[in-house]
Amino acid sequence: MKPKVLVIVGPTSSGKSALAVSLAKKLNGEVISADSRQVYRGLTIGTGKITKREMKGVRHHLLDVASPKRKFSADDYVRCARAAIQDISSRGKLPIVAGGTGFYVDALVGRITLPDVPPNPALRRIHNKFATAELLCMLKKVDSARAKTIEPDNKRRIIRALEIARALGKNPVSKTTLKYDALWVGIAPPMKELEKKISARLLARMRQGMVAEAKRLHAAGLSYKRMEELGLEYRSLARHLLGIITREQMIEELNRAIRKYAIRQIRYWKRNKEIRWFEKPDSQNILMEVRVILGAKSS
């Protein structure tokens, strides 16, 4: 029998992390983060990483497992996350995957196949000379489907997608053999409500010291170029610290970028018809449904 896994997805700021903790406490589970930036040590405030206090004693996996100076790939994530699932299941607990990086989650459970395409250093050097917007236009021409789901300001991922498209013709997204018996839960608040949450969360992170965190990361050896490659918050933070934009411009830029990112996340997940959607992360209502379905799967 395939191991049972509960998967919680949805846009940024929707309440996935708190819901995962609540369900883990009630279902004897442990949480596996599915966030492409929270795997990095030191990227804490900028990524909105869950705190020890917020974990409420629930063990979390795939947080702070890599140096931000090196690239942690989707392959790296799948290998580590599958090892975590095996470990959690072997101890009689329920693995709960929670996060917003759709590509990582789909690769983990086996909904898509990661392409066996080695890095092409020569091609990467050529592509690095182009602006991110130009690279995205190139990707739209050769693989429009991948261009619709990729982060438009993440130069590294766009270059990788172009690399794969050149080798295979397109980025594979076909459904393959599923690795787990997965129950999917999605959180998607109304857009106006989500936008308010995004703005409030961003301002809270600014007050917590997001700029100071970026300064510490740079002082510890993280280049501004690498910071920009990490995308979203860190791209804007790098631009602010370089004097390209003011603090106010950075906040405006991030509000726009995070909202657009949330929309892309929702569009990505809406294609998965197995997800049971909820507007609010009401753990009690979701818990009742999850228990019924897990019970049915066990019988």
Compute the distance between CA of residue 247 and CA of residue 196 in angstroms, rounded to an integer.
Answer: 20
Which pairs from 200-206 meet CB under 8 Å and 24+ separation? 201/13, 201/48, 202/251, 202/254, 202/255, 202/258, 203/251, 205/45, 205/46, 205/48, 205/233, 206/251
What is the chain's mean pLDDT, rounded? 92
What is the predicted pLDDT for the residue at 282?
Answer: 82
Return the exposure string of 139-171: e unless at least 16 CB atoms fall within 10 Å of the residue's CB, then b.
beebbeebbebbbbbbbbbbbbbbbbbeeeeeb
The answer on pLDDT for 149 being more than 90 is: no
Which of 30, 194, 175 is CA-nearest to residue 100?
194
| Residue 257 predicted with pLDDT over 80 | yes
The per-residue pLDDT for 205 is: 97
Sort 299 into a burial class: Cβ within 10 Å, 0-12 / 13-18 / 19+. exposed
Q: What pLDDT was estimated at residue 115?
A: 75
Please give the pLDDT value at position 145: 85
Give the mean pLDDT of 156-177: 78
* Mean pLDDT, residues 51-68: 97
Hey, what domains does the chain have and what are their CATH numbers?
4-113+174-298 (3.40.50.300), 116-173 (1.10.20)
pLDDT of residue 228: 92
Give the predicted TM-score (pTM) of the model.
Answer: 0.85
pLDDT value of residue 153: 78
Place 284 in a pLDDT band, splitting at 50, 70 and 90: confident
